[in-house]
Amino acid sequence: MAGKKTATTKTTARRKPVTKKATSTPIRAKEQKPAVSLGAWITLLLLAAIVAFAAYLNKDKQAEAEATPTGEAIEYLFPPADGTVSSIEVKPAEGDTVRIARNADNVWAMELPLETEADPGYSEAAASQVSALTVTNSLEGNPSDFGLEEPAYVITVEFAGGKTHTLEIGDSTPTNSGYYVRLDGKKILITDLSGIDSLLQLAMFPPYLNTPTPTATVTQTSTPSPTATPAPPTAETSATPSP
C-alpha cells in the first residue's frame, strides 16, 4: 500500500558501565599525627629529671643531717636565760688585762687597761660572739692533759641577769677545729675555734674608740743647792788673841 509509513521502533541501546582502569601508582594512606607531640615528650622528660634531682638532693641532705651529731640540737656555752652580755674581761697569762663594760647609759666603755671610750661596733660584735659560742663535746680527765692547768687566757663574762661565768682557755684540739675550755672551774668542754679566737683579739687589739696617744713622763729632779764656799780668813779673824 502506497503511502503507508512503516513504524520504526527506536531501541535504546543500554550503555555498558565504564570501569576505570587501575592505575599503577598506589594510593598513599593518610599520615596520622602522633598522639603526643615531640615537644610534650621533651617536657615530660625534663620534669622527670627535675623530680629525680630534687629527690636526690633531699636524700643527700637527710643523710648529712643524720651523720652530724650536733644536728639534733644546738647547745650554747652560756644559756640564753642569762640575758645580754654586760661586760667582757680577757686576761692573758702574759700581758695586760682588757675589760669592756656597758656604762649607766648602756654604752660600751673601756675599763682596762685604760678608762676611756670603746668602739661600740667592735664591742657589740664581741658580745654577740659570746652569746653564739656552742659546745661541741664534753670531756672528763686531767685538766693538764688539755692545757688547762695553766691556761693561756681566762675570759670572765658578766650578764645583765646577774650571772658571772669564767672560761679558761686551754689547747686547741688535734683537728684544730675547737678549743678545750673549762667553764666555771668545773666542766671541761670543747667549743668552736673561730668564736674563741674572735674574743682573744680583744687582748691583742683592745677596742679603743680613739687610740690613746702615749704621753711622755717627765721626771722632775731636785737641783741641789750650791754649797757655800767659805770666805778666806781676814787679818782680824786670823789674829790670835793675846793671853
Find the mean pLDDT for residues 51-67.
Answer: 51
Q: Do 111 and 98 contact (CB within 8 A), yes or no?
A: no
Strands 116-117 and 187-192: unpaired
Residue 139: CB atoms within 10 Å: 12
pLDDT digits (tens, 9 = 90+) for 217-229: 445 555 555 555 5
Asked whether residue 3 carries a pLDDT value surpassing 50, the answer given is: no
Q: Do 203 and 92 contact (CB within 8 A), yes or no?
A: yes
Asked whether residue 214 carries a pLDDT value surpassing 90, the answer given is: no
Asked whether residue 126 carries a pLDDT value surpassing 90, the answer given is: yes
Return the pLDDT at 46. Answer: 73
Return the pLDDT at 68. Answer: 44
Asked whether residue 12 carries a pLDDT value surpassing 80, the answer given is: no
Q: Do 118 and 100 contact (CB within 8 A), yes or no?
A: yes
Q: Give the distance, in angstroms, between the CA of residue 196 and the centroid of all CA atoms in the same chain.
A: 13
Beta strands in the chain (DSSP E): 85-92, 98-102, 108-112, 116-117, 135-139, 153-159, 164-172, 178-183, 187-192
User: What percent of the chain clears pLDDT 70, i.e. is strictly above it?
Assistant: 61
Find the mean pLDDT for residues 111-121.
Answer: 94
Which of the residue ranges 36-45, 109-118, 184-193 would you say has the lowest mean pLDDT? 36-45
Of the two residues 14 and 147, the one the predictor is more confident about is: 147
Radius of gyration of the chain (CA): 52
Look at residues 83, 181, 79, 76 and name the one whose alpha carbon lies nearest to residue 132. 76
d(CA 117, CA 108): 7
Asked whether residue 65 carries a pLDDT value surpassing 50, the answer given is: no
